[in-house]
Amino acid sequence: DHCTPQNSGETEDYLLSIIEANNNAGALALLQPQSNCGLTSTEQVTIQIKNFGIDTIYGFPVSYIVNGDTITQMVTDTLYGSDTLVFTFTIPANLSTQGNYTFTIYTSLPGDAQPGNDKISGIIIINKTAITSYPYFENFDTFNDTLNLGSPGTPVIALSNGWENDQTDDNQ
């Protein structure tokens, strides 16, 4: 009980100061592109960045990496302390081949006091197989021998193109 006098122990006072960094920009999100069917060779790349610091910032580079290419452009907008900005690169990404693309986005503010929030890596965007004609037929010859794996009562085996081999269904 803090209201009752204590005969033993000690009391200490602590002063905690939380100091915001003056210069601190960072990446928040990859807004575009999104996983979809039929992505193109001219996909706009849009990111969201934030001024985590208290100083006004402008004129600093932001970048994205995909397909082994690094694209860097300058932010010319002014960001006041705690502001966020949606930034669209003028150089698009080529996502025209079906498959997975791994993006990295980051800011490069000179003198950034907290570089740990500058980068987001491992963002997966998928250009999915588009079905454009109906009826649609799947050629199961390209599934290797995975259809013969397992036996009744074993878990579902994931196959390509969203198919699965459910070994627990006796009606197969």
Residues 53-68 pLDDT 10s:
999 999 999 999 998 9
CA distances from 119 to 105, 109, 115, 128 (A): 6, 12, 8, 26
Q: Is the pTM above the cut of 0.85?
A: no
Q: Which segments within the chain are labelled E, that is strand? A: 25-32, 36-37, 46-51, 60-66, 69-75, 84-88, 99-107, 119-128, 157-158, 164-165
Mean pLDDT, the chain, integer = 83
Cβ-proximal residues to 102 (8 Å cutoff; 6+ apart), any chain: 66, 122, 123, 124
**Confidence (pLDDT) at 132:** 77
Residue-wise pLDDT for 133-166, tens only, equals 888 776 666 655 444 554 555 555 555 555 555 5
Distance CA 39, CA 66 (A): 14
pLDDT for the residue numbered 159: 55
pLDDT digits (tens, 9 = 90+) for 65-90: 998 999 999 999 999 999 999 999 99
Closest CA to 105 of 126, 131, 123, 128: 123
Q: For residue 44, what pLDDT is reported?
A: 98
What token pair was written down for 21? Answer: 């960094």
What are 12-59's pLDDT values in tens digits? 778 877 777 899 999 999 999 999 988 999 999 999 999 999 999 999
Q: Give yes or no for a contact between 168 and 153, defined as CB atoms under 8 angstroms apart.
A: yes
Residue 130 has pLDDT above 50, yes or no: yes
